[in-house]
A and B are shown apart, each in its own frame.
Chain A
Amino acid sequence: MKTDRRGFLKIGGLGILGFAARPLVDVLLRGDLVEASPAPDTLAGKRWAMAVNVSKCKEGCRDCIVACHSVHNVPDLGNPKDEVKWIWTESYKKIFPEQEQEFDARGGKPVVVLCNHCDNPPCVRVCPTKATFKRSDGIVMMDYHRCIGCRFCMAACPYGSRSLNWRDPRPFIKKINPEFPTRTRGVVEKCDFCVERLAKGLIPACVEACKEKALVFGNLKESGAEIREILRANHTIRRRPWLGTGPQIYYIV
């Protein structure tokens, strides 16, 4: 059989590709191993939201922050460059810019901020791997296993809610909670409305820790929920709603 060098190389290449055929078939035809039972109450029946009563917040109080950060192993990097935070306080005029009046006493008041779990989240839109995604119960969730650390979501979030782990977080966690994972360097993290607590029927850690009951968490689809009553009876504002993001943290100011 007459063949030249090019022909030989072509056939050789195809031959080597042929070795991949069997493993490929194995992988593609392998079915799912896990049979998970459907969740006892389906996620789609809920729409989680939170109301923050700004006037009930006490100056200098950090109960909600300490509760969240300790339960979720959020590291304390100690400097504004590398810091990781899921919930924190900012002054009123920083959260609601151009909305304070000259004679308004609220300008410097601390206001709790966290991820707004938007209805129309830009962070979910831009994530190239769906590492951040919206659950049917409204929570904007993070899959730390899939995140490639591109930080497009951090650029897209209009509220500055997200933090990257610029370093290995473990040395900076005062006391590791063994029931919850830490994260690793290079992934973005944020508040996830305590999905692991919600799965057990508990309210988020920050809500539970607030002694003044300034934080109210609930299901907007439940007509008798406390949060529905709060939203009905009070004037609430949200951060930058004109951007169309549909934030679900309602502030009673």
Chain B
Amino acid sequence: MLEKALIGSKKYYGLVTLLLIIIGAGFYFYLRQLSYGLGITGMSRDVSWGLYITQFTFLVGVAASAVMVVLPYYLHNYKIFGKITILGEFLAVASVAMCLTFIIADLGQPARAFNVLLYPTPTSILFWDMVVLNGYLLLNIVIGWTVLASERKSVPPPAWVKPLIYLSIPWAVSIHTVTAFIYAGIPGRGFWLTAIMAPRFLASAFASGPALLILMCFIVRRFTRFDPGKEAIQSLAKIVAYAVAVSVFFVLLEIFTVFYSQIPEHMHHFEYLFFGMEGHEKLVPWIWTSAILAILSLILLINPVTRRKEGILAMTCVAVFASLWIEKGLGLVITGFIPSPLGRVFEYSPTGPEVIITLGIWAMGFLILTILYKIAVTVKEEIST
């Protein structure tokens, strides 16, 4: 079926070429990073994780959102999602590929990455992250490809796919639980030491992933002859609504716990994030933008009139995605480091090369998504004729 990605319209070739150019630029700057060192980024001794890890953290959530279409369809026979499970699974593949690439791009000695396999360390959450992310990638590739191929031949999928599909459901939950554990298990960083880190990840995943999926459905409907269906999109929108509500609620819970207990060390991080500290306020406009976008999207999603108008829904999904990208990325990761364990406020800004490498990896993800969607959509178009 891969050959379906080789033939397309002029716009398709144009998109692929553009993405390849961005990937090329990112790759060039990655080579520069390899020769200079990670110092080419904005990361520092105090803020030792930056843009790459924020992208990885956020994208793990987007990847797990495939379960939001797979679970209703396969466990509860929710037929409306039947047409778009493949879109969800392929989105998961592209997202996990991006996650893994961001991790590799962030390593100081990427040539030694194999050491994680040669010297497995089960006490390290990073080890388990490698296991679950690669497992999830493999699961979704195998499931998506097999189901799509069977659909194309108009036969039911082989029996062995069913247990894999059932496995992918808890596995999706595991990828963010493990990623949340990276942060929530560290004793010295009060901003991250919260039991609801994993639930927060799940809530924002189930908001940002389906929001992106809705946008992808709109794009697919606009540029191809495949229509995911108005009902499927509306169901997804309701899921996004609930997930955003829970996500906002969880953040408010964190704020209450920290500010009612009045422990200075825990309050400092929130103070820096929302109000700035000692004159340093780089993240303040970002987090307030995220908060406003979240509240706005909540209103537009809860109100059925604005949710049903697809034009408004599209904008709302962009707002949800952006809001959570900020909150789970910059808001979560960077703030954990500021102030440092020694009370120093040393701020972080990504550098040019860092941003270009990041864009290059996003372009890689979108290229994978474009190719996989092209295949899926072409097959669906074929069988409907």
A130 to B265, CA, bound (A): 30
A82 and B45: CB pair below 8 A?
yes
Cβ-based interface call for B106 (8 A): yes
Known A-B contacts A97-B343, A159-B188, A186-B38; A166 and B43 likewise in contact (beta carbons under 8 Å): yes
Within 8 Å by CB of B46, from A98, A160, A165, A186, lies A160
A186 to B340, CA, bound (A): 21
The segment out of B124-132, B238-246, B297-305 that lies at the interface is: B124-132
Within 8 Å by CB of A83, from B45, B119, B127, B342, lies B45
Kindly identify, within residues 101 to 152 of chain A, every residue whose CB is under 8 Å from any CB belonging to chain B. 113, 122, 125-131, 146-152
A residues within 8 A CB of B130?
128
Cβ-based interface call for B189 (8 A): yes
Within 8 Å by CB of B116, from A125, A128, A151, A187, lies A128
Cβ-based interface call for B311 (8 A): no
CB closest residue in chain B, given A124: B123
B49 and A151: CB pair below 8 A?
yes
Cβ-based interface call for B110 (8 A): yes
Cβ-based interface call for A197 (8 A): no
Cβ-based interface call for A36 (8 A): no
B107 and A156: CB pair below 8 A?
no
Cβ-based interface call for B170 (8 A): no
A155 to B106, CA, bound (A): 14
Q: What is the CB-to-nearest-CB distance from B212 to chain A, in angstroms, rounded to a whole number?
A: 27
A12 to B340, CA, bound (A): 57
B residues within 8 A CB of A160?
45-46, 340-342
B116 and A149: CB pair below 8 A?
no
Within 8 Å by CB of B265, from A97, A148, A159, lies A97
A126 and B48: CB pair below 8 A?
no
Interface centre among A152, A155, A187 (most CB of B within 10 A): A155
Kindly identify, within residues 200 to 235 of chain A, every residue whose CB is under 8 Å from any CB belonging to chain B. none
Q: What is the CB-to-nearest-CB distance from A160 to chain B, in angstroms, rounded to a whole number?
A: 4
A residues within 8 A CB of B118?
129
Known A-B contacts A97-B265, A150-B106, A165-B108; A128 and B121 likewise in contact (beta carbons under 8 Å): yes
Interface string of B109-141 (1 = CB under 8 A from A): 110110110110101111100100000000000
A185 and B186: CB pair below 8 A?
no
Q: What is the CB-to-nearest-CB distance from A119 to chain B, in angstroms, rounded to a whole number?
A: 13
Q: How large is the interface on B (under 10, 10 to 19, 20 to 34, 35 or more residues)?
A: 35 or more
Kindly identify, within residues 209 to 264 of chain B, every residue whose CB is under 8 Å from any CB belonging to chain A. 264
B39 and A157: CB pair below 8 A?
no
Q: What is the CB-to-nearest-CB distance from A138 to chain B, in angstroms, rounded to a whole number?
A: 18
Give the total of A residues in contact with B, Cβ under 8 Å.
48
Within 8 Å by CB of B112, from A147, A155, A188, lies A147
Cβ-based interface call for A50 (8 A): no
B39 and A167: CB pair below 8 A?
yes
A93 to B264, CA, bound (A): 14
A residues within 8 A CB of B49?
151, 155
A residues within 8 A CB of B38?
149, 164, 166, 185-186
Within 8 Å by CB of B342, from A94, A128, A165, A187, lies A94
Q: What is the CB-to-nearest-CB distance from B44 to chain A, in angstroms, rounded to a whole number?
A: 4
A130 to B46, CA, bound (A): 23
A118 to B57, CA, bound (A): 29
A residues within 8 A CB of B127?
128
Known A-B contacts A122-B188, A127-B121, A128-B121; A82 and B108 likewise in contact (beta carbons under 8 Å): no
Cβ-based interface call for A14 (8 A): no
A122 and B43: CB pair below 8 A?
no
The segment out of A18-26, A63-71, A237-245 that lies at the interface is: A237-245
Q: What is the CB-to-nearest-CB distance from B117 to chain A, in angstroms, rounded to a whole number?
A: 9
Cβ-based interface call for A87 (8 A): no
Residues of B within 8 A of A (CB): 36-39, 42-46, 48-49, 103, 106-110, 112-113, 115-116, 118-119, 121, 123-127, 130, 182, 185-189, 264-265, 336-337, 340-344, 346
> What are 11 A-B contacts defined by CB distance under 8 Å?
A80-B44, A81-B42, A82-B45, A94-B342, A94-B344, A126-B186, A127-B124, A150-B108, A151-B48, A155-B49, A156-B187
Extra A-B contacts (17), CB below 8 Å, given A80-B344, A129-B121, A146-B119: A81-B346, A82-B45, A83-B45, A93-B343, A94-B343, A122-B187, A146-B112, A148-B113, A155-B48, A156-B187, A158-B187, A163-B45, A164-B45, A166-B43, A167-B39, A186-B37, A245-B187
